[in-house]
Amino acid sequence: MIYNIADKIRYLRDKAGLTQTALAKRLGISRSAVNSWEMSLSSPSIANIIEMTQIFHVSADYLLDTSDKMMIDVTNLSNDEREVVLKLIACFEANKDIKNLN
């Protein structure tokens, strides 16, 4: 589990396949600013946090470490595809419950 914003930014950036330079460009800031966040030397502004929630499809709560829940963007999925995602999540939750019983 990732516990601080620096590690979450690095994890989400890597997961999105973005370099520090690419993320900086999307945010309209310098690469050194992103590097500084990831090294815990400084923190992103509220505006940058909001922009990153949209880039990474996570909530501000998740990014700021007030919640460990991630969001899944299903905007571009059909209703059938959304149903598959929901069933998959339900399957994982059921397996987790079964493991907890053992």
Take residue 75 and report the two structure tokens written for it. Answer: 């905007």
The string of pLDDT tens digits covering residues 37-47 is 999 999 999 99
The distance of Cα 73 from the centroid of its chain, to the nearest Å, equals 11
Residue 73 one-letter amino acid = D
pTM beyond 0.95, yes or no: no
The string of pLDDT tens digits covering residues 75-102 is 898 999 999 998 998 888 888 766 666 5
Instruction: Count up the domains in the chain and report the number.
Output: 2
* Whether residue 51 is found in the same domain as residue 20: yes
Any idea what the CATH number is for the domain that residue 40 is in? 1.10.260.40
By residue range, what is the domain housing residue 59?
5-63
Beta-carbon contacts of residue 50 (< 8 Å; ≥ 6 apart): 60
* Whether residue 82 is found in the same domain as residue 58: no
* Whether residue 45 is found in the same domain as residue 94: no
